[in-house]
Each structure stands twice: as structure tokens, then as C-alpha cells.
């Protein structure tokens, strides 16, 4: 019994120490879990920037419509009115006839935000939609590249201008700086022209519209042939024209004719003298 009590006390002390260590470990684990949960939640709540769409893309839109209409002339006028209503303009129009149809090819320039609305409005003029095609060209990369190159070239030009203002170099350096400024300025103007062209293409979409109207087949008229009397009259006119042209030619070279005649008479006189 005496030996049992010390053993019991030792067991109770060890149990208490184990319980205390377990509690502190659980608290430490709980603290780590709470702290690590916060960044995980933030990470899951933040959007994936790599997959975000680029809203300010530079895209050139082009559309093609091939529509059958009741009357080409009426539909052409209606398309003019619709285009004007949506703030666009017609840049080209080509009306043609054949044995079996009348067609009109119309090219319209329209702002991007009205592109689809214009297509929907023009489609209502069709009695049959033969084809609709829409394509796009993304020029964002070229646009950004030109802007970056422009910025760099303008900075270089400014450094050369500073050299001319301060005149820190020799005469040769000044002349080289002036030539460099001229070359860089030409390159800047070319880049700015390309940038304006892209901006205009991006701002205005192009819609090519072909409308056609089927008609009853008609044989083309025969080629006109001139009558014999017409040919004879034309021949007389051509002959008289030749005569008048020849007379004018002789009048233009009369000095040469006079000299030739004088030379001939002198040769004839010399010949008669030699015989005598």
C-alpha cells in the first residue's frame, strides 16, 4: 500500500501534464487554422486577372449582307434613310442590271455601337436573306505598339532638341542632331498617320450590302450595225478630212517646197548650160 500511493501520485501528475500539453496544442492548432483561413478566403474572393476580358480593345468590324428585295430602287432609298437615322453614311454604291436581276451594291460606314442595330434594321427590307457574314480584326496589339514607339521617339527627339538649345556639343554634333530630329520627326508623322487611320477604322465599321431583285429573263438587244448609207456618209467625211489635212500639211512646209523648187530649177539650168 505504501508503494502504491507514490505510484498513484506520479500517475496523476503525468496525466495532468499530458492534459495541459494537449490543450495548449489544440489552442495552437486552432490559432493556425484561423490565421490560414483568412488568406485562403481572400484568394478565392479575388478575381482571376489573367482571365479578365479587355474592355478597351481596338476591333475593326466588317459585315456582308446579301438580300433579295421586292424593289431595288425603293429598298436603296430606304437603306439610305436607315443609314442616316443611325448616324452612318454611304461611301459607295454600284447599281447594275442583267438578264435575270437588278442589283445594287452599297457600302456603309457606321459607328461600332450602331453596327448590329443597323444590320437588324436593314434585314427587315429583305424578302429572302441569302447570306449574312460578320468578321472582325483585332488591332489592339498594333495600336499599343505604335503608341509605345511614338512615346519613345518623342522622348529621343526631345533629347536632341535639348542638345540644340544648350549647344553643348561641337558644330558636327549640332548638325547630326538637326538631321536626327528631321528623321525622327518624319517617323513620328508616319506613325501618327497610321494611328489616325486605325482609330478611324476602329470607330467606323464597314457594312457591304448587296440587294437584288429578280426579273423576267430578257434577251439583250442586238449590237447596233450601221447601214450602207451611214457608212458611205462617214467615208465621204473621212475623205474630205484627209484632203483638208493634206492641204494644211503643204501650207505648213511651204518654205521647204520653195527651196526644193528653187534647187530643181537651178539644177535644170546648169544642165542646159553644160549641153551648150
The closest alpha carbon to 65, from 22, 16, 121, 14, belongs to 121
Predicted pLDDT of residue 41? 32
Question: In which residue ranges of the chain is pLDDT below 50?
Answer: 1-54
Predicted pLDDT of residue 65? 94
Predicted pLDDT of residue 128? 92
Predicted pLDDT of residue 223? 59
Cα 106 from Cα 273, distance rounded (Å): 88
Predicted pLDDT of residue 180? 83
Predicted pLDDT of residue 43? 31
Cα 109 from Cα 16, distance rounded (Å): 87
Predicted pLDDT of residue 169? 62
The CA–CA distances, whole Å, from 242 to 33, 117, 170, 229, 236 equal: 113, 66, 75, 20, 10
- Residue-wise burial string across 2-32, b where 16 or more C-beta atoms lie within 10 A, e elsewhere: eeeeeeeeeeeeeeeeeeeeeeeeeeeeeee
Predicted pLDDT of residue 97? 85
Predicted pLDDT of residue 52? 38
Would you tell me the crossing angle of helices 228-252 and 254-275 to the nearest 10 degrees? Answer: 60
- For 90, other C-beta atoms within 10 Å of its C-beta total 15
Give the global pTM: 0.50
- CB contact at 8 A, 102 and 72: yes
Would you tell me the crossing angle of helices 115-123 and 72-85 to the nearest 10 degrees? Answer: 150
Amino acid at each position: 500500500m505504501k508503494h502504491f500511493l507514490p505510484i498513484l501520485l506520479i500517475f496523476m501528475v503525468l496525466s495532468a501534464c499530458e492534459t495541459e500539453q494537449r490543450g495548449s496544442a489544440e489552442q495552437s492548432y486552432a490559432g493556425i487554422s484561423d490565421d490560414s483561413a483568412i488568406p485562403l478566403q481572400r484568394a478565392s474572393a479575388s478575381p482571376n486577372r489573367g482571365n479578365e476580358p479587355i474592355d478597351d480593345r481596338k476591333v475593326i468590324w466588317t459585315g456582308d449582307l446579301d438580300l433579295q428585295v421586292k424593289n431595288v430602287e425603293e429598298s436603296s432609298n430606304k437603306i439610305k434613310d436607315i443609314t442616316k437615322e443611325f448616324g452612318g453614311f454611304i461611301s459607295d454604291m454600284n447599281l447594275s442590271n442583267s438578264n435575270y436581276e437588278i442589283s445594287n451594291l452599297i457600302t456603309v460606314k457606321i459607328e461600332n455601337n450602331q453596327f448590329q442595330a443597323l444590320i437588324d434594321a436593314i434585314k427587315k427590307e429583305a424578302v429572302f436573306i441569302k447570306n449574312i457574314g460578320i468578321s472582325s480584326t483585332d488591332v489592339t496589339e498594333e495600336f499599343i505598339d505604335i503608341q509605345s514607339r511614338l512615346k519613345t521617339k518623342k522622348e529621343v527627339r526631345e533629347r536632341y532638341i535639348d542638345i540644340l538649345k544648350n549647344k553643348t556639343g561641337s558644330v558636327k554634333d549640332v548638325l547630326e542632331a538637326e538631321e536626327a530630329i528631321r528623321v525622327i520627326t518624319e517617323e513620328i508623322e508616319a506613325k501618327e498617320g497610321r494611328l489616325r487611320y486605325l482609330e478611324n477604322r476602329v470607330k467606323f465599321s464597314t457594312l457591304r450590302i448587296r440587294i437584288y431583285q429578280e426579273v423576267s429573263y430578257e434577251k439583250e438587244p442586238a449590237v447596233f450595225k450601221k447601214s450602207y448609207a451611214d457608212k458611205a456618209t462617214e467615208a465621204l467625211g473621212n475623205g474630205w478630212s484627209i484632203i483638208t489635212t493634206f492641204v494644211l500639211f503643204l501650207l505648213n512646209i511651204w518654205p521647204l517646197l520653195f527651196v526644193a523648187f528653187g534647187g530643181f530649177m537651178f539644177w535644170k539650168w546648169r544642165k542646159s548650160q553644160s549641153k551648150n
